[in-house]
């Protein structure tokens, strides 16, 4: 109800609209992805239009994209592990493969029954991460599918939950902050046990009597510039919808949605952690995290 009221209030306020990400096309799993490990723990439904990942005491599982991409819009519809999911992590992320790697992360941290999921995001650039942000969601992610997506171009990286931007990471190269721009990445997803840290810092352990833990997926479309060779540049600046001028920044409506998430649902932001980071990271101001 609170979310509906919020949407009504911001929609009636005039705003200069920037770009809205296009709705992904539904395609089967096999078109764009392959299992990475424990393929027997992935089950395909309706010819691959849906897939489930399962975690038991022996192993979790995961998959990765067939292609490697430099910029684009990458989305997945996921229904999280229901019930007592403490200790489990469902991850959806992009990553390059080298020592100074780039990475863009969604990590969904399970919890005891009745407690909310925590969504942790992070951005690695040139091997440097430690940019964690954590939020609660304004809905139960175990009840239905929701879309989790990343828009990545030369100007910004935007994390979306459905159509709500929950985080922005701007290109702040001029401030001395490295930005992912020249290392193609694959898209990955996995379900695995991380009870040494995932729930209350590792206090809550995975209850294996509740196994198997199952997460469901659909919507396996990828809209990115494929770059098969490492460090190859993508010659599409201004030619793809996600690389148009309107995607250089959020518009007023999108910034208000992001402000709402930060004020109501954010539980940790590295930009405001003066104990861990006595000196403010340069990108925090540009990203409006403070």
Q: Which residue, chain included where needed, has tokens 């701007």?
A: 170
d(CA 233, CA 253): 32
The answer to whether residue 107 is catalytic is: yes
Candidate list 103, 132, 226, 246, residue with the active-site label: 103
Annotation marks residue 103 as catalytic: yes
* Alpha-carbon span 110 to 142, nearest angstrom: 10
Separation CA 137–CA 260 (nearest Å): 12
CA distances from 106 to 9, 135, 143, 274 (A): 28, 11, 19, 24
Rg (CA), the chain: 19
Q: What is the DSSP string of 200-256?
A: GGGTSPP-GGGPPEEEEEE---EEEEE--STT-----TTTSGGGSGGGSS--HHHHH
The secondary structure element, H or E, covering residue 6 is helix 2-11
Q: Are 60 and 188 in contact (CB under 8 A)?
A: no
What distance in Å separates the CA atoms of residue 199 and residue 124, rounded to the nearest whole number?
A: 22
d(CA 244, CA 253) in angstroms, rounded, equals 18
Q: Which residue is catalytic, options 107, 132, 204, 283?
A: 107
The residues annotated as belonging to the active site are 103, 107
């Amino acid at each position: 109800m609170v979310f509906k009221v919020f949407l009504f209030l911001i929609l009636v306020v005039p705003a200069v609209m920037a770009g809205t990400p296009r709705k992904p096309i539904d395609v089967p799993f096999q078109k764009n992805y392959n299992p990475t490990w424990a393929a027997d723990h992935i089950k395909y439904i309706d010819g691959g239009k849906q897939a489930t990942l399962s975690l038991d005491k022996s192993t979790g599982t995961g998959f990765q994209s067939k292609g490697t991409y430099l910029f684009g819009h990458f989305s997945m519809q996921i229904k999280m592990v229901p019930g007592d999911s403490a200790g489990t992590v469902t991850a959806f992320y992009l990553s390059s493969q080298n020592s100074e790697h780039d990475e863009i992360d969604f990590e969904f941290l399970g919890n005891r029954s009745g407690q909310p999921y925590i969504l942790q995001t992070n951005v690695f650039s040139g091997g440097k991460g430690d940019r964690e942000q954590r939020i609660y969601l304004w809905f139960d992610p175990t009840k239905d599918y929701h879309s989790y997506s990343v828009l990545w171009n030369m100007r910004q990286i935007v994390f979306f939950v459905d159509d709500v931007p929950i985080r922005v990471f701007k290109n702040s190269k001029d401030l001395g902050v490295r930005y992912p721009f020249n290392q193609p990445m694959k898209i990955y997803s996995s379900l695995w046990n991380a009870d040494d840290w995932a729930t209350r810092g590792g206090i809550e352990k995975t209850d294996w009597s509740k196994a198997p833990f199952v997460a469901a997926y659909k919507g396996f479309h990828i809209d990115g510039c494929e770059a098969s060779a490492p460090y190859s540049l993508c010659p599409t600046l201004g030619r793809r919808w996600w690389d148009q001028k309107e995607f250089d920044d959020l518009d007023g409506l999108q910034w208000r949605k992001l402000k709402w998430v930060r004020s109501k649902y954010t539980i940790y932001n590295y930009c405001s952690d003066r104990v861990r980071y006595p000196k403010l990271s340069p990108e925090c101001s540009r990203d409006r995290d403070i």
